[in-house]
Homo-oligomer: A and B are copies of this chain.
Amino acid sequence: MKELNVGLVGFGTVGAGVARILLEDADNLAERTGVRPVLRAVCDLDTTTDRGVALPAGLLSDKLETVLGNAGIEVVVELVGGTTFARELILAALDSGKHVVTANKALLAEHGEDLYARAGSAGLSISFEASVCGGIPIVRAVRDGYAGTEITQMMGIVNGTCNYILTEMAEKGTCFEEALAGAQAQGFAEAEPSLDVDGLDSAHKLAILARLAFARRIDFSSVHVEGIRHIEPIDIQFGSEMGYVLKLLAIGKAVDGEVDLRVHPAFLPRHHPLAAVRGVFNAVWIRGKATGDTMHYGRGAGQRPTAAAVVTDLIDVGLGRAAVNARAFAALSGQLQDAGARSIAEIETHYYLRFSVADRPGVLSAISGALGRNGISIASAIQPEHSPESDVPVVVVTHQARERAMTAALEEIDSLDAVRSKTRLIRIER
């Protein structure tokens, strides 16, 4: 039986969940895995708030030294979040010869490569299953489980808040603001929701997974990011009539030696496995050269799933599996190629377009003319009945086109007299 001495920094929601598992399930963990993680110190600036977990006396302190200065502690769990203090903490833990387990997606997405290298050269590990899709063991799946194949594409619903909002909008016809308020009331969205609804959280997770899936160094600033604030129910409805479901997708594709990384709302065909992922659930769909299409599905957030992911990583540390992984990571890291980031202007996909036009003859012809001049052809269109008193929506789905051409065509179209407001564009993935 291996005892693993754990120091925990950050005693918030997830931290309390980790403490609870370590205190309550130690026997079960030891019996199932052969590793008994023992909580030796907990550090947080706030030592008074009741977290619902009864820590043994003397375990909680606001002095970092109780963790970093305790030579017996073998692994530090970093749950403070943010990219400044958390980074210093992780570096200090490595300097003290301690392994690290973290759930910090922003830090890993933006500074991961540097941290992995520092850990590798110290013969230590950084484990981060909890940073992506909480309860789904997706980090180790992408890192280890597809070694025998080449991953060519990856699409994920990796933000439960956005998926809850889009599901509500689709199933109840509510607008974004109302669905967001509902999510906040249910505790599925923060009071300040921008990290989620503007796509940054999804982009962080995408960058972490793409590094593993494509074995390329990822420049986080090259990820194209759009959120869901501008989505209107009418587009979800038109899409539905055409057989599509709208999701906020984190997309990674290997294309001609480049990596195409983007987060944006996208229509999926109704029968795509990701289309059935509702509410706060997450899922990551993976296409492998030899394995074909697979999908990993489950709860992406929440105290208990995320805490379980942290503990799963602790077991890896205790077994020595984390060290093996870190060695492999570090060995590759030095020779890792930069991902040639494919610009969004160069992607090729299908498009859903909604034009707001004056209801008069010749408008559709002018629009299709502008599309045609830019080499874009129409696959299908919906043009509602005549309605002389107001502007009408015209919806078009195109065949595959290059985004650069689409941008040029829409510039032309949006300057037409009969086009009354900016055309709405939603990309389609199939």
- A contact residues vs B (CB 8 Å cutoff): 17, 21, 25, 28-29, 31-34, 129, 134-137, 140-141, 144-150, 215, 273, 276, 288, 290-299, 302, 304-305, 307-316, 319-321, 324-325, 327-328, 331-332
Contacts and interface: CB of A to CB of B under 8 A. Distances in A.
Nearest to A214: B32
Contacts of A135: 288, 290-292, 294
A264 to B, nearest CB: 24
Contacts of A25: 150
A155 to B, nearest CB: 14
Contacts of A310: 148
A135 B297 CA distance: 16
A327 B2 CA distance: 12
Contacts of A315: 144, 147-148
A300 to B, nearest CB: 10
A292 B319 contact: no
Contact of A141 (B141, B148, B305): B141
A192 to B, nearest CB: 26
B295 A298 contact: yes
A291 B305 contact: yes
A160 to B, nearest CB: 12
B328 A33 contact: yes
A299 B129 CA distance: 24
Contacts of A147: 29, 32-33, 311-312, 315-316
Contacts of A34: 328, 331-332
Contacts of A31: 215
A146 B294 contact: no
B144 A321 contact: yes
Contacts of A145: 129, 137, 140-141, 312
Among A276, A294, A327, chain B packs the most CB atoms within 10 A around the CB of A294
Contacts of A273: 276, 297
Among A136, A148, A307, A308, chain B packs the most CB atoms within 10 A around the CB of A148
A31 B333 CA distance: 11
B296 A28 contact: no
Contact of A293 (B276, B299, B332): B299
Top 10 nearest A-B pairs (CB, nearest first) are A137-B145, A148-B311, A294-B298, A135-B291, A148-B312, A290-B308, A147-B315, A148-B308, A149-B308, A295-B297
A10 to B, nearest CB: 17
Contacts of A312: 144-149
A311 to B, nearest CB: 3
A224 B331 CA distance: 47
A89 to B, nearest CB: 22
Contact of A290 (B21, B327, B332): B21
A292 B297 contact: no
Contacts of A129: 145
Contacts of A327: 319-320
